[in-house]
C-alpha cells in the first residue's frame, strides 16, 4: 500500500462522516480516482467539491489536482515494482539467518527512501531550503530517536558555518525557543508528529517570531499543522520490534536533501567553509597521530 493510502486507512477514525466517505471511496479504487474530476468525485460521494479541497489540504496537498498527481505517481511505481519489492516492511523474526536479515534491512531502507521520495513536495522543500539559507540562527528539536536526526542535521550545518544548535532536553528546547526571534528558524523532528515536548518547543518558537519547519511521518499531525513548512517522510513502518530503523533512514534522507540544497544554493559561501572545516579536522587529527 502506498504511503498516501496507508495514511488514509489509518486516519479514517479521525475524519468527519463526509470525509470518511471520501476516504473510503479513494481506498476502494484509487486507480479510478486519479482520472476523475473533482465534481464527478463529489457527486459519487454525495459531498461538495469544497469538502474534497479541504480534505486534500488537511493532508497537506495544495488541492485535489496535487493529490491526484502524487497518488498517480505512487500507483505507477507500485504497479511497476518487481514482485516482493513493494512497501511491505519486514519485522524482526526469531532465528532468521544473517543473510535474510541483511536482505530484509536493505529492502526496508530502500523502500523507506523510495516511499519518502514519492511524497516530496519540491516547492515546499525549496521554501525550507530558502528559509534555512537566510536564517540568522537555526535551533533543532527532537526527542529519543528523533534527536539523532536533529543531531545529524546540526553536525552538517555547523560545518558550513551556520549558527545552529540541536537540543534533546525538553527544558532546553523551551529555553531555546523562548530566545528565538524573527529571522531565526526552529526545526522540529518527530516521527509521530505528536511528541508533546517537541510540539511545545515549536509552539513556543512560533510565538517568539521564528519561522518553523517540521519533519514528521506523512499524515495529519499536531506538529505538521503547527509548522510554517511541514516536511514528510514515509509513514509505512510499524511494529515495536523495528526500533524506528527505516523511519530514521527516511528522515535522514530528507536531511541530506535539505543540506545539499542549501550548499547548492549558496555554493560560493558554504563550500569554502565546508572545505576549511575538513582541512582543519584532518590537520589536527594527523597532529595527534591520526586518532579520532
Residue 269 CB burial class (10 angstroms; 0-12, 13-18, ≥19): middle
Q: Is residue 1 predicted with pLDDT exceeding 80? A: no
Is-above-0.85 flag for pTM? no
What is the four-CA torsion angle of 22, 26, 29, 34, rounded to 10 degrees?
A: 120
Domain locations in the chain? 1-79, 122-279
The pLDDT mean for the chain works out to 88
Angle at 173 between CA 172 and CA 174, to 5 degrees: 90
Q: Which fold has domain 122-279?
A: Rossmann fold (3.40.50)
- The span from the first CA to the last CA of the chain, in angstroms, equals 44
Note whether 191 and 156 are within 8 A (CB): no
Architecture of domain 1-79: Orthogonal Bundle (1.10)
The continuous run of DSSP H or E covering 6 comes out as helix 3-11
- Which of 155-164, 199-208, 216-225, 229-238 comes out lowest in average pLDDT? 229-238
At residue 199, the pLDDT reads 98
Note whether 67 and 36 are within 8 A (CB): no
Cell reading at 17:
462522516
**pLDDT > 90 in the chain, percent:** 58
pLDDT tens across 37-57, in order? Answer: 999 999 999 999 999 999 998
Amino acid at each position: 500500500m502506498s504511503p498516501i493510502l496507508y495514511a488514509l486507512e489509518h486516519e479514517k477514525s479521525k475524519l468527519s462522516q463526509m470525509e470518511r466517505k471520501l476516504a473510503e471511496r479513494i481506498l476502494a479504487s484509487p486507480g479510478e480516482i486519479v482520472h476523475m474530476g473533482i465534481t464527478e468525485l463529489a457527486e459519487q460521494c454525495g459531498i461538495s467539491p469544497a469538502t474534497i479541497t479541504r480534505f486534500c489540504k488537511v493532508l497537506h496537498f495544495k488541492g485535489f489536482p496535487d493529490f491526484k498527481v502524487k497518488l498517480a505517481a505512487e500507483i505507477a511505481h507500485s504497479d511497476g515494482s518487481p514482485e516482493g519489492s513493494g512497501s511491505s516492511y519486514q519485522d524482526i523474526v526469531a532465528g532468521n539467518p544473517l543473510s535474510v536479515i541483511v536482505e530484509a534491512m536493505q529492502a526496508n531502507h530502500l523502500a523507506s527512501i523510495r516511499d519518502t521520495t514519492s511524497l516530496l513536495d519540491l516547492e515546499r522543500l525549496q521554501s525550507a531550503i530558502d528559509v534555512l539559507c537566510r536564517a540568522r540562527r537555526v535551533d533543532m528539536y527532537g526527542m529519543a530517536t528523533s534527536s539523532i536526526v536533529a543531531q545529524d542535521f546540526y553536525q552538517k550545518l555547523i560545518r558550513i558555518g551556520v549558527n545552529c544548535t540541536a537540543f534533546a532536553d525538553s527544558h532546553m528546547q523551551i529555553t531555546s525557543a523562548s530566545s528565538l526571534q524573527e529571522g531565526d528558524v526552529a526545526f522540529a523532528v518527530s516521527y509521530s508528529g505528536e511528541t508533546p515536548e517537541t510540539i511545545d518547543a515549536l509552539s513556543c518558537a512560533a510565538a517568539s517570531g521564528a519561522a518553523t519547519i517540521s519533519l514528521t511521518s506523512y499524515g495529519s499531525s499536531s506538529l505538521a499543522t503547527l509548522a510554517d513548512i511541514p516536511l514528510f517522510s514515509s509513514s509505512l513502518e510499524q511494529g515495536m520490534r523495528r526500533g524506528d530503523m527505516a523511519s530514521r533512514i527516511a528522515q535522514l534522507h530528507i536531511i541530506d536533501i535539505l543540506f545539499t540544497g542549501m550548499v547548492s544554493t549558496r555554493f560560493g559561501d558554504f563550500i569554502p567553509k565546508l572545505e576549511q572545516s575538513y582541512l582543519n579536522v584532518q590537520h589536527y587529527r594527523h597532529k595527534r597521530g591520526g586518532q579520532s
